[in-house]
Structure 1
């Protein structure tokens, strides 16, 4: 089944979509899901980075800062590429491991691959909302709208992650 279709169906019936994916899960497949999620999160940052570079350039021109000391868009995108495509996957693997340890400590054992797939699929399914959040960050900027959307994205991610973890424990 197409990943995009499964992402949409995950919001209606998370268990029905996640069960077959978990049954067919492999470590390379889990990594592919995580890298897809990280890439979409990386892309979601572009509007905010563009805004940041533009505002920094305007501020530098007003103050008289030399152009070589102003953050350039390419540098900001490069830094985010490194962080989201190389460092974030390591952090997400650690979070998945930690969630498995915590669940085992509370007597709710989950297979390590199940814990990873639950987290990674929740990230991938939430990525379209993060793309919307990125548009708000780029076009509207910091403020109540961005805060509310960010909070709703976080709640949606946490809700979906706990539902998928329950499914992985079954």
Structure 2
């Protein structure tokens, strides 16, 4: 299946999609591609709110976008690898049978699968601004992210 079809299928059954991703074997290049794709989309989701902020504060947009680029494409991947390792250690405490690769795929895929909601959150933040709408979309994104990540961890650790 293609990535877009897998993202859509994740909203119907996240464990099935992760099972299929894990059955393809341990390929770190695939894990890194998923992570960098997710981080790129998260970076792009920051553009509308940053443009709004730059307009309202009458400041330059380019330095703000540069900071978001640094955060999402250089710092976030490193932090996400650490979070995946910590989640594997927590799963091990609960007698998980998986490995570090499964923990990485579960976290990275959850981030990529929820990227459409993150893009929507960015659009709401950029065009509507702070308010109930932004909080609602952000909450839906967070709930879906946690659901996909926990479902993925359960699947990865039940191997």
**Structures share fold, TM-score greater than 0.5:** yes
User: How many residue pairs align between the two structures?
Assistant: 157
CA distance in 2, matches of 1:22, 1:30: 10
Q: Which position in structure 2 is the counterpart of 1:9?
A: 9
Alignment check: 8 A CA contact 2:45 2:119 kept = yes
Residue of structure 2 equivalent to 1:140: 128
Q: Distance in 2 between matches of 1:140 and 1:100?
A: 38
Contact kept? 2:18, 2:152, Cα under 8 Å: yes
Moved more, 89-98 or 20-29: 20-29
Aligned to 1:95: 83
CA distance in 2, matches of 1:86, 1:97: 18
Alignment match, 1:65: none
Q: Hey, what's the Cα distance between the residues in 2 that align with 1:26 and 1:45?
A: 30
Displacement of 1:133 after TM fit?
0.4
| Cα shift readout 1:69-102 (whole Å, capped 9, x = no counterpart) | x3x1111111100110000001100110000001
Of the three residues 74, 83, 103, the one matched with 2:62 is 74
Q: Contact (CA 8 Å) 2:91, 2:157: kept in 1 or not?
A: no
Q: Summarize the alignment of residues 116-135 of structure 1 with structure 2, pairs less than 5 Å apart.
A: 116-135=104-123
- Distance in 2 separating the partners of 1:118 and 1:150: 21
User: What is the CA–CA distance in structure 1 between the aligned matches of 2:82 and 2:124, rounded to whole Å?
Assistant: 30
Cα shift at 1:105? 1.3
- Match of 2:50? 49
Unaligned segments of structure 2, at least 5 residues = none
Runs ≥4 residues deviating over 6 A: none
Name the CA distance, whole Å, in 2 between partners of 1:20 and 1:139.
Answer: 37
Q: Tell me the C-alpha RMSD between the 2 structures.
A: 1.0
